[in-house]
Amino acid sequence: MFTPVKVLTVAGSDCSGGAGIQADLKTFQERDVYGMTVLTVLVAMRPEDWQHLVSPVDLETIKRQFRTILPGIGVAAAKTGMLPTVEIIKTVGQLFAEAKVQHLVVDPVMVCKGTSEPLFPENTQAMLDYLLPIAEVATPNSFEAAQLAGMDEIKNKAEAEKAAKRIHKSGCKNVIIKMARVLPGKTADLLFDGQECLWLEDERINTEWTHGAGCSFSACIAAELGKGSTVKEAWKCAHDFVRAALKSSFPLNQYVGPLYHKAMAKNA
């Protein structure tokens, strides 16, 4: 009897379909795992200016969803995305700690695409307290990494390595920092596993349509870990997966454009 690898995403819903749980499920499908969800927040956008309207899910509903999956079904791996309040971060962290999921990927979402300020600045310490200590992998972008590391910003590779080492001290086993627009003309991912800093670098893909890239990246890592890959193997797969999808990204409207999740076979 066929039994698929089951992977959970605990994240927000992007009703436009480009990021959040929608991007995670598309990625899971492309990586050949069975995706399940715990919804933490509903995100809508005003059509006149694309301002984000954020509606958190109540804690009891989050707990009921989580316990439907754990212990109700079981998972090989899991990831987190947007967790909009300190209370939700704490609750999700406690639920995962109780469930003892083998592979947990934390994507510390702090901003929505098109904004530059944290949605909820007070959440940074809660992530460090409740999520990072139980994570196998954390996948901040350069902005989020700077926030978690207590730095103003990350402007080069040396500062990225410094930030990764600081974040690692929170208890997270592996820190991956995504540096899409930090290095001139290049995109780069840094992996610090507690022992060494490893880099993947490529020429930057010429597109402004990158909505859902971070969600897809972390979801791909979770899927590959669930299938038995090492962290390094999952990291490389996610790097290539997102690059392929970016080559087929497209404008959804005048404000945003998502990755195309069927792009791997065409562009790999």
Q: What is the pLDDT, as a whole number, of residue 63?
A: 98
Q: What is the pLDDT, as a whole number, of residue 267?
A: 42
Nearest to 219 by CA among 79, 116, 10: 79
Q: What is the pLDDT, as a whole number, of residue 121?
A: 72
At 189, list the tokens: 């991912």
| Structural domains of the chain, ranges and CATH numbers in brackets | 6-267 (3.40.1190.20)
Helix (H) or strand (E) holding 63: helix 59-69
Q: Evaluate the CA torsion angle 158, 164, 167, 168 in order and state its sign.
A: negative
Q: What is the pLDDT, as a whole number, of residue 44?
A: 94
Cis-peptide into 84, omega within 30 deg: no
Residue 29 identity (one-letter amino acid): Q
Give DSSP secondary structure letters for 152-174: S---SHHHHHHHHHHHHTTT-SE
CA distance 197 to 218: 19
Cα separations in angstroms, 173 against 24, 27, 224: 22, 23, 17
Q: pLDDT tens digits, the chain, 268 residues: what are they?
A: 888 999 999 999 999 999 999 999 999 999 999 999 999 999 999 999 999 899 999 999 999 999 999 999 999 999 999 999 999 999 999 999 999 999 999 999 986 554 445 556 789 999 999 999 999 999 999 999 999 999 999 999 999 999 999 999 999 999 999 998 888 888 999 999 999 999 999 999 989 999 999 999 999 999 999 999 999 999 999 999 999 999 999 999 999 999 997 745 444 4
CA distance 56 to 73: 25
